[in-house]
Amino acid sequence: MALGCWPLAGITSGQMTDEAAVRVIASALDAGINHLDTAYAYGREGESERRIALALRGRRDRLVVATKVGVYWDDAGVLQLTADPALLRRHVEESLRRLAVDEVDLLYLHAPAPGASLADAAGLFRDLLQEGKTRAVGVSNLSVDQLAAFQAECPVVACQVRYNLLQREIEGDVLPWCRAQQVSVIAYEPLALGLLTGKFGPDHVFADEDWRRQSPLFTGEAWTQNLATVARLRPIAAKFGCSLAQLAVGWTISRAGVTAALCGAKEPDQIRETAQAMRLADALQAVEL
């Protein structure tokens, strides 16, 4: 498991303080998690990266730090995509300053920019790798064709993509490609935006500002079917003596080719509880859900 550090920015799920973020990271480390995943865009002022820097003090040699560039907030507060090498380099340098490090362990292209050249972006990442700004390069949210195009210009070791029990599209293309190329899959949203925690019932009403209202997971016939799937999983979780969340994450990291699942947290207890999913991975390898 890896700690997904988007919640530490304090943007979409309530305020977050520096001290609270450091406590979450320390708890993740205590629970056996040594991989932190963040991004230039996690916080309008880089709050996630800055808070990780505070937690890294005295712990840098114990933690794997990954960040992403290619998504950023413009002056109007709107998220934008870029593959412009000059802007990407500027964001990488700013991320390193925020994190107070000379290099990161893993640097991702966060997402492809429509109409932009992946070759140019990949060339920059190759340069950054050679310059020692990162120890390895990854990509996120790319199709198989895009993965191959990027890989042709720069060695890729990791592919970050959405993957969970309810959203398994990558099993048809991206996951087999990554296995064949020996590229690690890093799965985000293993809990399907919280749906796989089992905490939502058919009568649940999301607040107007809750971004899950826009997700197809929570609307129409898919919402009904997903709740039925969650109900089906409850006795399986009981059989393994775990929570639904632990079952969902454990299943995800048990899949061949998946190196880690990204799990976010805003409280130490949340990551300590979810981290127990790691003990289930071996038992779930042969289980089809």
Q: Which residues contact 182 (CB under 8 A, 6 or more apart)?
A: none
Q: Is 42 annotated as catalytic?
A: yes
Marked catalytic residue, from 42, 72, 108, 163: 42
Q: Would you say 116 and 84 are in contact if contact means Cβ atoms under 8 Å apart?
A: yes
Name the one residue in this structure whose structure tokens are 């299943």.
251
Residue found under tokens 């991004």: 39
d(CA 106, CA 95): 12
Report phi then psi at 261, rounded to 5. Answer: -115, 140
d(CA 163, CA 263): 12
Active-site annotation, residues? 42
